[in-house]
Amino acid sequence: MKFKTLFVIALLGLSFSAAADFTTVSRAYEIGIENFRAPPTAHGVATFKQCDECDRLSVRATPNTSYVVNGKSVTLKKFREAIALSGGQIGAPVIVLHHLESDTLVSISVNI
């Protein structure tokens, strides 16, 4: 009986720590390719709008930013080439992962 009581108390203690406040570290944006401009260099800035009426956001890239085209990791140069070859397909989704604390890009992914 004591074991069951201790077990229940331990579970209750764990559940209270799970209810703690969370800190948002990164934010993901899903945007249309027509509202996205890739960074020109590894230390450049990507600009994008969440919607046609929204303000444009600018986020700095770093050499650690990863670029993905159709699920495959590529270099920034190949990423920019893929975007250019897509002809700006209206509505093609671009996923931008923005690290909020450092205000940098974690990754940019596109499926075209």
Q: What is the pTM of this model?
A: 0.78
The string of pLDDT tens digits covering residues 10-29 is: 666 665 555 556 788 999 99
111 touches 35 (CB < 8 A): no
110 touches 47 (CB < 8 A): no
Task: Collect the ranges in the chain with pLDDT lower than 50.
Answer: none
What local confidence, expressed as pLDDT, does residue 43 receive?
96
How many other CB atoms are there within 10 angstroms of residue 50's CB atom? 15
Tokens of 36: 């996205």
On average, the pLDDT of the chain sits at: 87
Q: What is the residue-wise DSSP string for 41-57? A: STT-EEEE-SSTTSPPE
